[in-house]
Structure 1
């Protein structure tokens, strides 16, 4: 009998197939097999799952943009998620990053889904301490997280993705999707300033103002997507977060959101509202792995993270918004999902070997 548990463990046992293949157009991507993608949880209609982080115990923390909330989901037993916290005076939660074991920084602010407009000056960053958090299998919280505000950043227009300068750093780098810059925030002192600014981070003329989006650091570089420039880029940074090299375009990727790296340095980029998942190699080769604007398999993909435990190291967890940013023609908006993608199986089904 096929079970979610057997699906997850199959990823650990499967051979990793992360080799290059020719770029495929979204319309030519074959539907994935049933053991490639599973839905761990689907939220109610009109719920936008925005971002996620993985706890040291393997549980997932998921932020919502449609409500100022963080939920916990156990991927081994994905029953009712536990509501970790609801932030005051905000409409949504965005980027999330772990900066010490089981302690997370979360971006919170006011961004209206109906109009895609931000409220300038409404953004803040919060500390969510999960070290004592407890909940049962039905999502009932028996011991809450300890939550406190780190700081408001009133000069920001639209804080979005967040990462650390490097592993173990107490300095976070935060994308401002409207100003087209990166802020540095010391998570202990609450001091902040703009440290990175490039044309590759800026918005393009249009009704929706959305430039730099997802940000992650790796091997001394900050990598970032730009949603409406449709690009994936990088810049070398020092230990203070300042640029020490040129801003470099890696690939043109289409409308891109957040992303995750595998151990080989391939980036897996959520495409919204292109409704796809792309892989970009270190050399800049782009493969559409699954999805397109005419199917709902990964509709409204917003972010991705790999599991960290032995059973799910090859599982890519993806959040979605259910089509709130643009539904697939002929379908209705549905609740955002948390997907578990068995990446070796998906790559094999795509003929990447």
Structure 2
């Protein structure tokens, strides 16, 4: 009897399988065209062969390259073909190129639906995951999701030192964002509101960034002590250090959110810069968001955490309620958000 893929992953991740998604709920595919075109160029370089204009144009015509360029333009970042060519001229050995090819095979040999099913355990009914995963040879060593509502894309930095388990965790994390955005109300980002007095709406939108922590919980398959165990010892250790600063980080955010509501945080660009700083690699949007999500799930169950992260206006107030209950049994109580802040955000 063949063991279902979900069963294998669930056992490996200490999580139960989610209820099966609808047959048409997952439509995610790999697009390897950019990685393969870039590897062809790297092969020529290590062999001392000439890279032709046709080689470059084949690379620049791939969907992965064009969408990466679109994303960088959306972010307001400089991104030119000349700069990309300069990046590709970085010396690489034959062994390094072979390692990239091997990693690409390992990442894409696993069924992508398996990562999607893990994420589905933390999504509302009716959620869908549609999009494309692009393993990329690119200058920035980052991973991200882009254009989640129109044509979702997940970009993975192709790294020969990254095992398939870590790539799977990243895909589950980003697929959770796509699934959440498919069914939950749009996040109230700074670009979505045009009312004369949109300070509260913008802050509500930024609080939606705690979804990064929720996605960490979902990708881990549940409230396990080390949600980044699949990402290797270094990232797990860094996570432990950051989570240990939960009280400090939450207090800093609490104070800043209050200054935003009071109109004392500076202009919109200053507020945005501060909020963006909460991302980082494992910033408070991840660690504080994860801790809140785990606390809510431990006290009220998985469905409550799904519901509150779908309408994040209620997030701070719901966390306060859960933390107050949990504090009855803790020697060191969890901190609470300012009650007035939580109440205002729930409007």
TM-score of the pair, normalised by structure 2:
0.23
Greater RCO (CA < 8 Å, at least 6 residues apart): 1
Greater share of strand = 1
Structure ID, larger Rg = 2
Q: Which has the higher helix share?
A: 2
With normalisation by structure 1, the TM-score equals: 0.22
